[in-house]
Amino acid sequence: MIATTFLKHHLLLLLAVALHSLVGASPVPGGGKPAPPKNTASSLKQLWKSQGNKHPTVFIHGLLGWGESRKLLGIINYWGGATQNLLDMLRGQGHTVVAPNVGPLSSCWERACEAFAQMTGTTTDYGVDRSTRFNHARFGKDHSGKALVPGFAANFASPSSPVVKVNLVGHSLGGPTARTLAHLLAYGSQAEMDACAKRGVVCSPLFWTNKTQSYVTGVFAMSGVHQGSVVDDYLQASNGRVQFIKTLFSALVGFNNLNNLDIWDLQLGHHGLNQNSGEMFVDFLDRVCKSAWFLSNTNALFDLNVANQEHPLLSYVKNAPETVYFSTAGVTTNYLLGVSLAQISTNLFLAPFANLIGTYSNSSLTVLNTYSKRDWRQNDGLVMLASSRGPRSGYMDFNLDMDSDNESGLVQSAPTAMPVRGTYNYVGEWEGADHLDMVAIFDLVPGLRTKFYRNLMRVLSSLP
């Protein structure tokens, strides 16, 4: 009886939808909303009434990633894999792009300091206050004479020179790293300024608090882990972090290759953790995972934890009011009846984590209750949708067709209003893309992500 009633109701609902569609096919006086007018602009700059910019763009890699100074195993680009170099493709389009090599397991603070040192060609300065609190060396690698963005470096070496700004692009942990760097370039750090004054030493310009501008025009986060990932919370609760790190390294290059010397530069020398000459990488990694640093509050695993997002070490970061932020999320799961499961095309290594996020429950993580189940169970294999859209401070929808064939298609999809400064403008989901698809690491066929990256640069270079 219940089944019969349900079936009748379902059939009536379908009939009603069909009749509504038929009626909607003909204009009804006074009924419905008129279709919005099409954009008549020929470019985003014209649409947004902007002169645009030609700022250098800095690409910041994610967890376990690497920059352009070295290719993984000599052949694999982080941005493009073994079959292509997406950054070279963008250079061919006339853009100035660079990709620093920051600590693959380090905290967002340390990674921001490392990116700044490479951009400006200076010695990495992690700060007096920070190094004292966490009992590590203040200085790291010296990049003197090797500035990735010489014009940007002049902002701090010669204040009278014309201001050179940058755009930032971050993937995965590179998302919150870019946000941290933009914060420090806008606000500096009062704690570091005070510590330097007390000790009578010169403070890194990254921490100056008297800046008059942010130096960052736009930030674009791809699958940014802005509110952490429940994968990390699960691994911490199950004591699985060490195995996860070792397995993730192994999945990228294979067990045999892990024995090669100096595959990754972990940049942990300031913590007293260097790979010794002749030491196999697996042995070095084992030593790192057993160190006090691995269990400290100054590494990537701390920053990736959902429960830690309200900790003062992370929650201090604010959006810069003059910077425009964008975000996009990969989605490689199907949502049904309150759970999300990996699509068949999901990377085999990521599929178990996609299913974990898609079914995860934890009553102690009350922040998850502030979202719908779909928002935090739909994911890209490592990061939940809610986290990729932006930080807790919020985001706004700013839908763009990032897979448009050309700028005309991008313009037609774009809101006519200028993207809002100081908040994340969420351009939408990258449907069917898992966490590694975003950067094409495993793409055997080159060119699959080309349109997205071209449009990404069109968006950033169209900002005033």
For the stretch 58-94, pLDDT in tens is 999 999 999 998 888 788 899 999 999 999 999 999 9
pLDDT interval class at 261 (50, 70, 90): very low
Alpha-carbon distance of 126 to 292, in angstroms, equals: 18
Handedness of CA 86, 90, 91, 95 (dihedral sign): negative
Mean pLDDT of the 272-291 span:
89
Give the per-residue pLDDT at 277: 85
Lowest average pLDDT, out of 280-284, 376-380, 419-423, goes to: 280-284
Structure confidence at residue 214 (pLDDT): 82
CA distance 84 to 441: 9
What pLDDT does 441 receive? 93
Whether 359 has a pLDDT exceeding 60, the answer reads yes
| The pLDDT of residue 288 | 93
CB atoms within 10 A of CB 445: 8
- Asked whether the beta carbons of 123 and 141 are under 8 A apart, the reply is yes
Q: Which residue has the higher pLDDT, 74 or 432?
A: 432
Confidence category of residue 14, pLDDT binned at 50, 70, 90: very low
Q: Is the pLDDT of residue 290 over 50?
A: yes
Looking at the predicted structure, is the pLDDT value of residue 257 above 60? Answer: no
CATH no. for 44-228+307-332+381-461? 3.40.50.1820
Average of per-residue pLDDT values in the chain: 89
C-alpha 75/C-alpha 80 separation (Å) is 11
What pLDDT is stored for residue 193 in this prediction? 98
Domain ranges (residues) in the chain: 44-228+307-332+381-461, 233-301
SS3 of the chain: the string is CHHHHHHHHHHHHHHHHHHHHHHHCCCCCCCCCCCCCCCCCCCHHHHCCCCCCCCCEEEECCCCCCCCCCCECCCEECCCECCCCHHHHHHHCCCCEECCCCCCCECHHHHHHHHHHHHHCCEEECCHHHHHHCCCCCEEEECCCCCCCHHHHHHHHCCCCCCCCEEEEEECCHHHHHHHHHHHHHHCCHHHHHHHHHHCCCCCHHHCCCCCCCCEEEEEEECCCCCCCHHHHHHHHCCCHHHHHHHHHHHHHCCCHHHCCCCCCCCEHHHCECCCCCCCHHHHHHHHHCCCHHHCCCEHHHHCCHHHCCCHHHHCCCCCCCCEEEEEEEECEEEECCEEEECCCCCCCCHHHHHHHHHCCCCCCHHHHHCCHHHHHCECCCCEHHHHHCCCCCEEECCCCCCCCCHHHHHHHCCCCCCCECCEEEEEEEECCCCCHHHCCCCCCCCCCHHHHHHHHHHHHCCC
Which of 4-13, 165-174, 282-291 is modeled with the greatest confidence?
A: 165-174
What pLDDT, in 10s, does the model give residues 118-135? 999 999 999 999 999 999
Q: Which of 19-28, 76-85, 192-201, 324-333 has the lowest mean pLDDT?
A: 19-28
Mean pLDDT of 186-213: 96
Residue 171 has pLDDT above 50, yes or no: yes
Q: How confident is the model at residue 246 (pLDDT cuts 50, 70, 90)?
A: confident
Percent of the chain at pLDDT above 70? 89
Name the amino acid, one letter, at 335.
Answer: Y
Distance of CA 25 to the CA centre of its chain: 43
Tokens 């070792």 label which residue? 246
Give pLDDT, residue 35. Answer: 45
Res 26: pLDDT: 34
